[in-house]
Amino acid sequence: MRSTKTVNRRNLTRWNGILIGGFFTFLIILNTAPLLWGTLTSLKSEADLFRFPPTLFNFTPTMENYQRVFDSGFSYSLAISLIYSAITVVMVLLLGVPAAYAFDRFNFPGRRPLFLLVVASIPLSLGAAALLIPNYIYFLRLGLTNQYFTLPLIYTAHQLPMAIWIIKGTIEGIPRELDEAAVADGAGHFMILRMIILPLILPALGAAGVMAFVGSWNEFVASTVMVDAPELRPVQPAIYNFIGYFGREWGPLSAAAIMGVVPILIVFMLLGRLIVSGLTKGSVKG
């Protein structure tokens, strides 16, 4: 009887593994298929693009679409987006670390409602289309539109709540006894934050930085409305420019989209593990 139950349990485990593997394989195919199709489309000539029935691999690759994209000044928009995203990451971490430390280690009036407000503002990291009109009016009256700092300022405000939440979750897992021991040795709060807290929350800093970079890089609505000068235009509106008045230029549009995705893929390849470790490190307190 025991052997039968053991065999059944092993078979059930095997089938569960097969189902889970099949499910994740399906998800991988579902997510990589558009990227593959866009890459192939970007390498097709105009004649191959409108061939019917469409071909997947039976065509002569060309770099003509990428050349057109580079000639349009798209590389400048890529550089601008990199600068905007880098500034956003630096500002988010500079503001998020002390804020998260204060929320976790200090008791002050309104601490809980204020943190609930921060948590409620996390959806801003996904975009703030509902706040676009009031933000535009405020920025316009203050003369802050079409400035080099306009988009980094908005991106920082959007990404800061998520960063505070991530970093605070990790600080919660650091024993307060370490703070008390440092205070006994004469250390102040700044010294505790710099010498004790920061080395222990590096995964959370990486996760918050990656999330801020991706969020600011992919932002479209605010970057379309808040700036209209070509020298301030980031990558997402630049991609949209290839959707012309008389129709979509599928070749250049696909090439620009692929070039806009490459930095995100590089960031996730190099720092993707930090997202998992940074989000889970504070889930179990020490």
Domain boundaries, the chain: 2-42, 66-283
**Contact (CB, 8 A) for 122 and 161:** yes
Q: Are strands 243-244 and 247-248 parallel, antiparallel or unpaired?
A: antiparallel
Helix axes 202-218, 150-171, angle to 10 degrees: 150
pLDDT at position 125, please?
66
Least confident of 70-74, 83-87, 213-217, 278-282: 278-282
CA distance 68 to 172: 51
Question: 249, 203, 259: which is closest to 77 by C-alpha?
Answer: 259
Which band of pLDDT confidence, cut at 50, 70 and 90, is reported for residue 89? very high
In this prediction the pTM is 0.82
CA distance 228 to 220: 13
For residue 234, count other CB atoms closer than 10 A to its CB.
27
pLDDT tens per residue across span 191-234:
888 888 888 888 889 889 998 999 899 888 888 888 888 888 89
Measure the CA dihedral 178/181/186/187, to 10°.
0
Which band of pLDDT confidence, cut at 50, 70 and 90, is reported for residue 152? very high
Q: Which two tokens stand for residue 36?
A: 């593959």
Distance, C-alpha 240 to centroid of its chain:
20
CA distance 283 to 285: 6
Beta strands in the chain (DSSP E): 243-244, 247-248
Domain boundaries 66-283, CATH class? mainly alpha
